[in-house]
Amino acid sequence: MDSKIRRMAILASMGVILLVSLLVLYANGDRGGGAPKATAQPPAESGSKDAGGQSGPGNNGVVNGQIGDDLSAFLKDDTFFDPEVNPILEAAKDNAARLSMVVTSVEKDLRIQIVDTQGELVTGESFFVRLERLGEYKDLDKDGVIYIGDLAAGEYYVELMPMEGYRVPENKTKVRVKDKVEYVAIDDISLLLLTEADIDVAAEDTEVADAVADADATEIQQLQKTTANSRVGIDVSKWNGEIDWDRVKNAGVEFAIIRAGYRGSTTGSLVEDSCFAANMRGAAASGMPVGVYFFTQAVNEVEAVEEASAVLQLIREYELDYPIFIDTEGAGGNGRADNLDVETRTAVCEAFCRTIANAGYTAGVYASRNWYNNNLHVDKLEHYCIWLAEYRHTPLYQGYYHMWQYTSKGAVDGIAGNVDMNVSYLQIP
């Protein structure tokens, strides 16, 4: 082969190789292997934004290829999935509609609470439950709670009846009705605790200081001096408003008893004092030793255990130095517990205190001199802390007491208006 033919052959081979290379590069470029190719964009429609790809009326709400900004909206769209192959949607709906029961017995009774998957009471529905051998009971006030009293002790089966729109438990719930009060805190009492936003405050918070009847011209209104065996302190509630606890402590106050809550005088609802948390945090920040009290309107031992349980729930995050007191006094004459006989009122106080003591805290009773003398069997309560309210220079009360509330008209820097003042003889540092 002469040189001319050889050169032609080489050139032809190189041309084939070049052509194949170009074809390969072209093919790879179409699959994204090369630089992106510029493509013609359709003209923007009227009203749309061309910066950053943001949507407007002209492109139907499309943002970077996404319609809207609710990433879970598809769960609400029954047409998004094929219903036969949509486990996510079905599971979400099933979970939202699923109900369960929380059943509690204190003494010859049942309290049945209908709750959702988050443990919250389901309200606004007239649920029915069937109690084996006794029939059906309805949630008449639609508060998610059905109370059944006067039951014989023993085991029962409770069934939540079907309700449209909800999924009820398939199996019956076995419960034991207690024969007598065990004075043990109710674990799920938080379901019954309300805030003042949930009630008619004017009708429910009607606490009246019965110690006013024990006041005379000798009533002490100044902060008492501390002695070797006593401490001077205050007791407060929402009625005292916002408190500057640092100023209170600097004024010489050595302890505080803070209202945790109360039972409503009309409906009997368990209600947290609206300033309780703020007062507990403020007192703790100032280094003030504290105890708590609860204004009772319990009409039996069962309700007393509920009140004690409510307090134990409210104080779970706080440290206490002083006792937990049940405050027993009148509610203006129209309170649900105002006309209890001496035996029942004493049993209420003892049930409260026994429940508190069984939880590991020191328990006590607050009442006026007249209340102790006429409305309580004090001899059955003396092994608890007795807090006496009597507004005079020297108490006339003949019994033993551990704390003395000597005025409701005290003045302390850091608190606007009058405040209750006390002397404690408890040996607490």
Per-residue pLDDT tens for 195-214?
999 999 999 999 887 788 88
Contact 239, 228 (CB under 8 A): no
Per-residue pLDDT tens for 228-245?
899 999 999 999 999 999
Per-residue pLDDT tens for 322-342?
999 999 999 888 899 999 999
Mark which of 155, 177, 199 sits at the end of a domain. 177
Q: What is the pLDDT of residue 53?
A: 44
Q: What sign results for the dihedral spanned by CA atoms 189, 195, 200, 201? A: positive
- Counting beta carbons within 10 angstroms of the beta carbon of residue 52, is it exposed (0 to 12), middle (13 to 18) or buried (19 or more)? exposed
Mark which of 153, 177, 201 sits at the end of a domain. 177
**Do 156 and 292 have their domain in common?**
no
Instruction: Give the chain's mean pLDDT.
Output: 85
**Do 248 and 148 have their domain in common?**
no
Per-residue pLDDT tens for 4-19?
666 666 666 676 676 7
Question: What is the C-alpha to C-alpha distance for residues 158 and 130, in angstroms, rounded to an integer?
Answer: 6
Question: What is the C-alpha to C-alpha distance for residues 288 and 256, in angstroms, rounded to an integer?
Answer: 7
Residue 86 lies in a domain: no
Residue 159 lies in a domain: yes
pLDDT: which is higher, 94 or 117: 117
**Do 140 and 225 have their domain in common?**
no
**Do 372 and 263 have their domain in common?**
yes
Q: How many C-beta atoms lie closer than 10 Å to residue 195's C-beta? A: 11
The token pair that represents 416 in the structure block: 């606007």
Q: What is the pLDDT of residue 124?
A: 92
State how far the alpha carbon of 161 is from the alpha carbons of 48, 104, 170, 327, in Å: 55, 18, 10, 40
The token pair that represents 272 in the structure block: 């947290």
pLDDT: which is higher, 165 or 60: 165
Determine what percent of the chain is predicted with pLDDT higher than 90: 58
How much is the pTM? 0.72
**Do 413 and 338 have their domain in common?**
yes
pLDDT: which is higher, 133 or 259: 259
**Do 289 and 144 have their domain in common?**
no
Determine what percent of the chain is predicted with pLDDT higher than 70: 78
Residue 212 lies in a domain: yes
Q: What is the CATH number of the domain that holds 124?
A: 2.60.40
Residue 429 lies in a domain: no
**Do 280 and 418 have their domain in common?**
yes
**Do 131 and 204 have their domain in common?**
no
**Do 173 and 222 have their domain in common?**
no
**Do 207 and 146 have their domain in common?**
no
Residues 336-352 have a mean pLDDT of: 97
Range of the domain at 302: 189-424
Mark which of 177, 208, 229 sits at the end of a domain. 177
**Do 377 and 398 have their domain in common?**
yes
pLDDT > 80? residue 32: no
Per-residue pLDDT tens for 168-195?
888 999 988 988 888 999 988 999 999 9
Locus of tokens 């033919």: 5
Of the pLDDT bands very low, low, confident and very high (cuts 50, 70, 90), residue 50 is very low
Domain count, the chain: 2
Question: What is the C-alpha to C-alpha distance for residues 428 and 255, in angstroms, rounded to an integer?
Answer: 10
Q: How far apart are the first and last CA of the chain?
A: 118
Q: What is the CATH number of the domain that holds 204?
A: 3.20.20.80
**Do 153 and 197 have their domain in common?**
no
Q: How many C-beta atoms lie closer than 10 Å to residue 351's C-beta? A: 25
Q: What is the pLDDT of residue 214?
A: 80
